[in-house]
Amino acid sequence: MRSHEGQAVPLLEIEGLTVAFGSVARPFLAVDGVDLTVDAGEIVGCVGESGSGKSVTALAVMGLIDFPGRVSARRMRFGGHDLLALSDRARRAIVGKEIAMIFQDPLASLNPCFTVAFQLTETLRIHGTVQERASRRARRARALELLRQVEIPDPATRLEAYPHQLSGGMAQRVMIAMAIACNPKLLIADEPSTALDVTVQAQILQLLVRLQREHGMALLLITHDLAVVAETAHRVVVMYAGEQVETGPLPAIFETPRNPYTQALLAALPEHNLDQARLRAIPGVVPGQHDRPLGCLLSPRCVYAVQRCRDTQPALYGPPGRQSRCFFPLDDAGRPTNDWEREAAATVDSLAR
Amino acid sequence: MFAFILRRIALIVPTFLGVTLLAFALIHLIPGDPVENLSGERGMDSERRARLLHEFGLDQSLTVQYFKYIGQVVRGDLGTSLTTHEPVLREFATLFPATVELAFFAMVFAVCIGLPAGIIAAIKRNTVADYAVMGISLTGYSMPIFWWALLLILFFSVQLGWTPVSGRIDVLYDVPTTTGFMLLDTLRSGEPGAFRSAVSHLILPSIALGTIPLAVIARMTRSSMLEVLREDYVRTARAKGLPYWQVVLVHALRNALIPVVTVIGLQVGLLLSGAILTETIFSWPGVGNWLIHGVQSRDYPVVQGGILLIATIVITVNLLVDLLYGVINPRIGHG
């Protein structure tokens, strides 16, 4: 199930995606040259800290980046459509139908002024089958069925409910029902469980995985929770400060990370710190608009950083499907390679450390 | 719902007491009295004056007069006009439809222009369209009604001759009063041209009176819309692939309307007070005009009764708006 090499053309194919905000003269790149492919029926996890550009990537795929944000890419294709060349109208015909998205805060993502039924059937009215578009009763019947699919108890009553009458978990189920209403080929879930209670989180993830399997849709799971990704995804993309830093299949990427950032993220997991008095954390924060380092974006926070890392930006190295943005990709034992010791010794401040 | 209405009605009682006290005090504070006004320039001998004052009950102390007045009001009697000797309530009822008609069309004008203008300003934020809408509405809001009305008359009536200068209908027409609303009455009378004449008389006063509410509604709609457009559910609506106008007019507007409706309700009070100026300028035979005459002739019952009735209407409208608020905002149930 985890192998999808047979697929010739990926469902979603993005190359060099860049999303810039701010002025043209001094843009801030929220996403900088990200490559991302998602095959049909695949679960891809996209992990990274807050501000690493995960959500912005997803919004760019959905076409929801507004002025003053600017989206550019070398290539952005979805299921035979060139997303860069599509008119707004043609884009809207895909969005909500073939690509659907659910968001972090389900209660804020539902319109407080309309009932669940209205918001569910609205999707069917524009994207549904011929019968659903024509008949109110067909839409209602489908809405009821969708609520059953997402395991909402007493669905007939819930149809008439307003969002404020739902719990967070219930609201996220409604969001999922809305998203899968037209059997999308790709579902983007942007931190789908972050705003929910721990027990509800697990239920929502189970639901997503079940629906993904039943519908054979691809799932792009955006999260900062490595555990969530480890349990569900087939393949992982690790993002940092708007760049992709590592990509690879599970469980390899977590067992033998090639990038120091992935290694540090894993080391920060509570279950890896059981014998420690303090949780290990990555010092510092993701660089913002005004403090972007000259070289590798991780260099100020990386334990392995040497002079070369501070001066020049590394590219993505490694075979396709297992790439890492680092001059010294880690080996299976988690030690930097490529003669790192020699360069580290040569770096003056590495001596100071 | 029922308990909510009861609570609100209970709150009305002290409000009414305040209104009567204020109206009573203000009109008695103005120098002069009705008798002096009746006597005219040549004056009146003191014996006759004393008799008239006694007849009107004005020789008693203010406190006694006030409590007598309250007693009357509680029994539903607003007194009779000292100048026309007609019951205040009947006069008010005759004139009120004219004011309602004017206020209604002023509001229609304000909402029909202000709401779309506010929406356009919000979705075209920081463009020429936005600056134009905001600039014009600020100008409109700052424009004194009496001056704005005169400008309108000078331009449209005098210069262009498009609209009549004053009144509710051309003197050529004699339309029987059945509803009191000129537009309905002219339609029912079947007289050719009467309806057109009534409409043309209504245009300028409606614009003059509706300008300030228009400006307030446009600005309120804009800011409320801008706030709502940032909400997550607007993003959800767009993620469904809905056409942009549907996202704005269904998902955003419905939420943005909640504060706008409150503001529209508050404008009703402003409309009735603005109507006093507008009616005077356009010789519109409504309650505002009548109140001004009441003040000028120190017709105490007219002024006190008129203010009380207008206050009642404003309070009622505000109550209705509060109830409407619960209808358009499902999160608020007046349970």
Q: What is the pLDDT of residues B244-299, one digit of tens each?
A: 999 999 999 999 998 998 888 888 877 887 888 899 999 999 999 899 989 988 88
Helix orientation angle between B194-229 and B128-142, rounded to the nearest 10 degrees: 120
Q: Which two tokens stand for residue A222?
A: 């955006």
- Report yes or no on B66 lying in a domain: no
- Asked whether residue B332 carries a pLDDT value surpassing 80, the answer given is no
pLDDT value at residue B334: 52
**For testing contact with chain B, the best of A61, A64, A111 (most B CBs within 10 A):** A111
Q: Which residue has the higher pLDDT, B46 or A314?
A: A314
Q: Looking at chain B, which residue has its C-alpha nearest residue A166?
A: B331
SS3 content of chain B, % helix, strand, coil (to 5): 75, 0, 25
Classify each residue of B218-247 as buried b or exposed e, where b means 16 or more C-beta atoms within 10 Å of its C-beta: bbbbbbbbbebbebbbbbbbbbbbbeeeeb
- Domain assignment of residue B97, given as a range: 93-284
Q: List CB contacts (< 8 A) between A90 and chain B.
A: none
- Asked whether residue B8 carries a pLDDT value surpassing 70, the answer given is yes
Q: Looking at chain B, which residue has its C-alpha nearest residue A108?
A: B232
- Report yes or no on B163 lying in a domain: yes
Beta carbons of A112 and A162 less than 8 angstroms apart: yes
CA A222 to centroid of chain Cα atoms: 3
- Min CA distance, B331 vs chain A (Å)? 7
Structural domains of chain A sorted by starting position, each given as residue range(s) with its CATH number in brackets: 12-240 (3.40.50.300), 284-352 (no CATH)
Sign of CA dihedral A247, A252, A258, A260: positive
- Planar angle of CA A19, A23, A29, nearest 5 degrees: 30
* CATH number of the domain to which B168 belongs: 1.10.3720.10
Close Cβ partners of A173 (under 8 Å, ≥ 6 residues apart): A147, A150, A151, A152, A204, A207
A108, with CB counted inside 10 A (0-12, 13-18, 19+), is: middle
pLDDT value at residue B172: 81
Beta carbons of A104 and A192 less than 8 angstroms apart: yes
Beta carbons of B295 and B288 less than 8 angstroms apart: no
Q: Are strands A43-47 and A218-223 parallel, antiparallel or unpaired?
A: parallel
- Min CA distance, A146 vs chain B (Å)? 16
Helix orientation angle between B253-281 and B194-229, rounded to the nearest 10 degrees: 140
- Interface residues on A facing B, Cβ-Cβ cutoff 8 A: 62, 64, 88, 92-97, 100-101, 103, 105, 108-114, 122-123, 126-127, 162, 164, 175, 178
Query: Do A108 and B233 lie within an 8 Å CB cutoff?
Result: yes
Average pLDDT, chain B: 88
- Report yes or no on B314 lying in a domain: no
Close Cβ partners of A47 (under 8 Å, ≥ 6 residues apart): A54, A222, A223, A224, A225, A226, A229, A236, A237, A238, A239, A265
This model of the complex carries an ipTM of 0.86
pLDDT value at residue A237: 93
Counted domains in chain B: 1
Q: List CB contacts (< 8 A) between B241 and chain A.
A: 92-97, 123, 126-127
Query: Do B237 and A123 lie within an 8 Å CB cutoff?
Result: no
pLDDT value at residue A3: 42
Q: Which of B235, B251, B330 is nearest residue A64 as measured by Cβ atoms?
A: B235
Three-state DSSP class for A272?
helix
- Report yes or no on B127 lying in a domain: yes
pLDDT value at residue B92: 92
Q: Give the tens place of pLDDT for each residue, A112-163.
A: 999 999 999 999 999 988 888 889 999 999 999 999 999 999 999 999 999 9
- Min CA distance, B233 vs chain A (Å)? 4
Q: Looking at chain A, which residue has its C-alpha nearest residue B258?
A: A113
Backbone angles phi, psi at B32, to 5 degrees: 95, 165
Q: Give the tens place of pLDDT for each residue, B102-115.
A: 999 999 999 999 99
Q: Which of A95, A111, A112 is nearest residue B239 as measured by Cβ atoms?
A: A95
Query: Do B238 and A108 lie within an 8 Å CB cutoff?
Result: no
Query: Do B331 and A123 lie within an 8 Å CB cutoff?
Result: no
Concatenated DSSP letters for B157-187?
IIIS--S-SSSSS-TT--PPPSSS-HHHHHH
* Confidence band for B55, pLDDT divided at 50, 70 and 90: confident
pLDDT value at residue A349: 55
Amino acid identity of residue B140, one-letter, is: G
Q: Give the tens place of pLDDT for each residue, B167-192.
A: 888 888 888 888 888 888 888 888 88
Cα gap A163→B329, rounded to integer Å? 12
Close Cβ partners of B247 (under 8 Å, ≥ 6 residues apart): B234, B237, B238
- Report yes or no on B74 lying in a domain: no
Classify each residue of A302-329 as buried b or exposed e, where b means 16 or more C-beta atoms within 10 Å of its C-beta: bebbbbbbbeeebebbbeeebbbbbbbb
B 213-242 near A (Cβ less than 8 A): 231-233, 235-242
- Report yes or no on B270 lying in a domain: yes
Q: Looking at chain B, which residue has its C-alpha nearest residue A111?
A: B233
**For testing contact with chain A, the best of B233, B242, B245, B247 (most A CBs within 10 A):** B233
Q: Which of B236, B244, B331 is nearest residue A109 as measured by Cβ atoms?
A: B236
Q: Are strands A186-190 and A99-102 parallel, antiparallel or unpaired?
A: parallel
Cα gap B72→B83, rounded to integer Å? 19
- Report yes or no on B29 lying in a domain: no
Three-state DSSP class for A250?
coil
Q: Looking at chain A, which residue has its C-alpha nearest residue B238?
A: A64
Query: Do B331 and A109 lie within an 8 Å CB cutoff?
Result: no
Q: List CB contacts (< 8 A) between B235 and chain A.
A: 64, 103, 109
Q: List CB contacts (< 8 A) between B243 and chain A.
A: 92
Beta carbons of A216 and A41 less than 8 angstroms apart: yes
- Low-confidence stretches of chain A (pLDDT beneath 70): 1-8, 348-353
Q: Give the tens place of pLDDT for each residue, B296-331.
A: 888 889 999 999 998 888 888 888 888 887 778 888
Q: Looking at chain A, which residue has its C-alpha nearest residue B228?
A: A111
Cβ pairs A/B, distance under 8 A = 68
Query: Do B328 and A113 lie within an 8 Å CB cutoff?
Result: yes
Concatenated DSSP letters for A207-220?
HHHHHHHHHT-EEE
The pTM score is 0.83
- Asked whether residue B122 carries a pLDDT value surpassing 80, the answer given is yes
Q: Give the tens place of pLDDT for each residue, B126-171.
A: 999 999 999 999 999 998 988 999 999 999 999 998 988 888 888 8
pLDDT value at residue A108: 94
Query: Do A113 and B329 lie within an 8 Å CB cutoff?
Result: yes
pLDDT value at residue A351: 53
Q: List CB contacts (< 8 A) between B237 and chain A.
A: 111
- Asked whether residue B76 carries a pLDDT value surpassing 50, the answer given is yes
The answer to whether the bond into B34 is cis (omega within 30° of 0) is no
Query: Do B330 and A162 lie within an 8 Å CB cutoff?
Result: yes
- Report yes or no on B69 lying in a domain: no
Cα gap A306→A16, rounded to integer Å? 27
pLDDT value at residue B335: 44
Query: Do B240 and A113 lie within an 8 Å CB cutoff?
Result: no
